[in-house]
Amino acid sequence: MSAPKYKLSYFDGMWIAEPARYLLSYVKEDFEDVRFNQEQWDAMDKKDFPYGKVPVLEDTENGLKLGQSLAIVRYLAKKFKLVGETDAEAAKCDEYADVFKDLLQEIYPLWSADEEKKVEIKAAFMEKAVPRYFSVIESDLKNSKGDYLIGKSLTWADIISAHFTELFQIFLTIDVLANYPTMKAHQQRVFKLDGIREWRAKRPATPY
Ligand SMILES: N[C@@H](CCC(=O)N[C@@H](CS)C(=O)NCC(=O)O)C(=O)O
């Protein structure tokens, strides 16, 4: 067996690296899934990681070392033709990805908040952020020509949406899709796709 073309380095968790793992699994591309814990990270020389942050994707075919989680998934999506068929469809993929980036920003403060602040952050997330964005995505999915967000086939935006909606559910312990049945059905549809289903069954178990 030949060595994998891609190497993805990240902490031992899903968080912002999982969409790249899903995408590579969906296209049946073997990859080196390098994981470490905080202690190992603290002891590491960060020179191999742009900006001293992870995830980082290495493409052994062209020597690229790419940081920034969304840039990584977009790069892979372009390579594997999961960016829609037109510039407009590619732009919609970017738009949905940025929606989930915005939503992530809203919950990052939870890592360091005290209990009272956590309740406040979660309430704002559910009462303001989620309706603002999910009502649009729910409606887009209802009006979609197919089973996916854009066009008639899977794009990286579908992977981003399925992953982050699940991550929010797990991390916040709230059913964030309770009022968005079309998004829920879409999430489950993505998780059942060949490659993605297999990855979910075999990936290392981590809380989020
Ligand atoms: N915007 C970046 C954020 C990267 C980031 O902050 N990664 C965290 C892990 S989730 C990290 O590398 N933390 C280690 C550190 O800053 O020392 C992305 O989307 O990749």
Q: From residue 145, how far is each of 141, 149, 151 by CA, in Å?
A: 8, 9, 6
Contact 11, 185 (CB under 8 A): no
Contact 106, 125 (CB under 8 A): yes
- DSSP state letter for 69: H
Confidence at 18, pLDDT banded by 50, 70, 90: very high
CA of 38 to the centre of ligand 1 (A): 12
Position in ligand 1 atom list of the atom nearest CA 54:
12
Task: Indicate the domain borders of the chain.
Answer: 6-80+194-202, 87-191
Contact 96, 161 (CB under 8 A): yes
Pocket test for ligand 1, best of 8, 21, 54 (most atoms within 8 A of CB): 54
| Contacts by 30-33, CB closer than 8 A, 24 or more apart | 30/4, 30/5, 30/6, 31/4, 31/5, 31/6, 31/7, 32/3, 32/4, 32/6, 32/7, 32/8, 33/8, 33/204
**CATH code reported for the domain at 87-191:** 1.20.1050.10
Domains 6-80+194-202 and 87-191 in one fold = no
Give residue ranges with CB within 6 A of ligand 1. Answer: 15-16, 53-55, 68-70
Instruction: Report which secondary-structure segment, H or E, holds 140.
Output: helix 130-142
Q: Averaged over 66-89, what is the pLDDT? A: 98
Confidence at 2, pLDDT banded by 50, 70, 90: confident
Q: pLDDT of 88-119, one tens digit each?
A: 999 999 999 999 999 999 999 999 999 999 99
Q: Averaged over 150-177, what is the pLDDT? A: 97
Query: In CATH terms, is domain 6-80+194-202 a member of 3.30.1490.20?
Result: no
